[in-house]
Amino acid sequence: MRFPFPRRDRYLVFGAPRLPEEAIEAAVRVLRSGWLGTGPQVAAFEKAFAEYIGTPFAVAVGSCTAALHLALRLVGVGPGDEVITTPITFAATANVIVHAGARPVFADVDLRTGNLDPEAAQSAITSRTKAILVVHYGGRPCEMDAFLALARRYDLFLIEDAAHALEAFYRGRKVGTLGDLAAFSFYPTKSLTTGEGGMLTTSVEAWAERARILRLHGLSRDAWRRYSEDAFPDYEVLEPGYKYNMTDIQAALGLAQLPYLERWLRCREYYWSLYNQGLQDLAGISLPPEDTHLVHARHLYTIRVNPREAPFDRDTLIHLLHKAGIGTGIHYKALHLHRFYREAFGYRPGMFPSAERISEETLSLPLSAHMEESDILYVIDVIRFLWREGRF
């Protein structure tokens, strides 16, 4: 296949992180400090993160997956329970429901936003439903007033998967303070990264305290307090917890990035507007919608490619962009279509039409504060060229 765009010397890696020098230096200081485990840096990161979110408690863990699992454990989700969630999410969101011994109950999404549809969620409620686990997909907050009303009416817990939505607000209220508990991700593609890492936020002190115990084997005192506070390294196992703690190396990286979040969001907002302007007139491409009642975290710039109107289907476009040196992402192949979920829970194609349409048509273009304006313009140029040529 002939392709007119020469491969650039630099492949546009999807989701490349932007790390300030201070973060790298802070991590190196920890490496030289003699204490690498969970310690003072984790405590400082938790405090600063809680202030940033505007929540009383933040508990640092090894991943968002760990934070989600702890959230389910804290509200008592277990065997026999059902948790309603979206099929348009990363596997972690539903896998943790299975880890907790419960049944993941998918409900369809709003085709316009990709977020869980509150009416579909309501229809999925049964006497076994214990919680609703919403995902602020791509950085766009869910319709939280509707979910809060459902949670109140049916006496359910509401958990936010805020992996994409660190900087987001819903009707002036910060994501991470809206549900009973929220989970954030610091995976490398996220706007704040600690390599791997996550944070659990809540306003319930008892949950925060138990999360601190559960994140480290259920021990009564963590290693920092055992080895440094007094000379007697005693502890007791209070319950069989997990190995979900965050290290001081990770926390130092995270703490140093917090002051940059707003600046980087402005940068992504600008790139987002360039994509909107550059792609708006192309046939068969649906751009992400704008909503005035939200602050969108601009994590994923997802378009939908309608194969009946566009010259290429989504998969061909991914292939052509790759040839032009542009990495893209699929967010997501709907979870109910994956083998495990089909076989273990009887999900079938056709059950959630909007999720399936997104699953087939969605494509995320590279978007990161690490990129330069010329990178975004290059992506737009390549796509416009492909649409003009109409074949390859």
Residues with a catalytic annotation lie at 190
Q: Which one among 55, 63, 177, 191 touches ligand PLP, defined by CB under 6 A?
A: 63
Q: Who's near 277: CB < 8 A, 6+ residues apart?
A: none
Q: Does 89 bind ligand PLP (CB under 6 A)?
A: yes
Contact 222, 212 (CB under 8 A): yes
Q: Which of 55, 65, 193, 247 binds ligand PLP (CB under 6 A)?
A: 65
Count of residues touching ligand PLP (by CB under 6 A): 14
CB-wise, 180 or 378, nearer to ligand PLP? 180
SS3 117: coil
Q: Give helix 205-214 / helix 64-74 axis angle, nearest 10°.
A: 120
Least separation, in Å, of the C-beta of 343 and ligand PLP?
22
Q: Could you give the CA distance from residue 299 to residue 150 in angstroms, rounded to a whole number?
A: 27
Six token digits for residue 326: 């542009």
Shortest distance, position 299 Cβ to ligand PLP, whole Å: 9
Nearer to ligand PLP, 89 or 368 (CB): 89
From residue 37 to residue 56, the character string flagging contacts with ligand PLP as x (rule: CB under 6 A) and all else as - is: --------------------
Q: Which two tokens stand for residue 271?
A: 């790139």
Residue range at the interface with ligand PLP (CB under 6 A); choices 34-42, 71-79, 86-94, 371-379:
86-94
Tokens of 15: 């989701």
- Interface with ligand PLP includes 90 (CB under 6 A)? yes
Decide if residue 113 touches ligand PLP (CB under 6 A): no
**Residue 364 engages ligand PLP in binding (rule: CB under 6 A):** no
Residues with Cβ within 8 Å of residue 137, at least 6 apart in sequence: 86, 88, 89, 109, 113, 114, 115, 164, 300, 331
Name 104's bridge partners: 83
- Copy the structure tokens of residue 46: 């938790």
**Which of 41, 55, 85, 93 is close enough to bind ligand PLP by CB under 6 A?**
93
Rounded to whole angstroms, the Cα distance separating 270 from 283 reads 23
Q: Considering only residues 119-178, where is the footprint of ligand PLP by CB under 6 A?
A: 135, 161, 163-164
Closer CB to ligand PLP, 115 or 282, in the complex: 115
- Amino acid 278 reads G
Q: Does 201 bind ligand PLP (CB under 6 A)?
A: no
DSSP string, 143-175: -HHHHHHHHHHHT-EEEEE-TT-TT-EETTEET
Rounded to a whole number of angstroms, the distance between the first and last alpha carbons of the chain is 7
Backbone φ, ψ for residue 351 (5° rounding): -75, -30
The H or E element containing residue 213 is helix 205-214
Between 190 and 304, CB nearer to ligand PLP: 190
Nearer to ligand PLP, 69 or 210 (CB): 69
Residues in the chain: 392
- The binder of ligand PLP chosen from 30, 64, 253, 265 (CB under 6 A): 64
Output DSSP code: residue 289.
P
Are residues 33 and 347 in contact, defined by beta-carbon separation less than 8 angstroms?
A: no
Q: Whose Cβ is closer to ligand PLP: residue 92's or residue 386's?
A: 92
Q: Report the residue from 87, 104, 198, 254 that binds ligand PLP according to the rule CB under 6 A.
A: 198
71 or 75: whose CB is closer to ligand PLP? 71
Strand order in the sheet with 301-305: 285-286, 301-305, 362-365
Q: Is 185 in the site for ligand PLP (CB under 6 A)?
A: yes
Reference 85, options 115, 113, 63; nearest CA is 115
- Where do contacts with ligand PLP occur on this chain (CB under 6 A)? 63-65, 89-90, 92-93, 135, 161, 163-164, 185, 187, 198
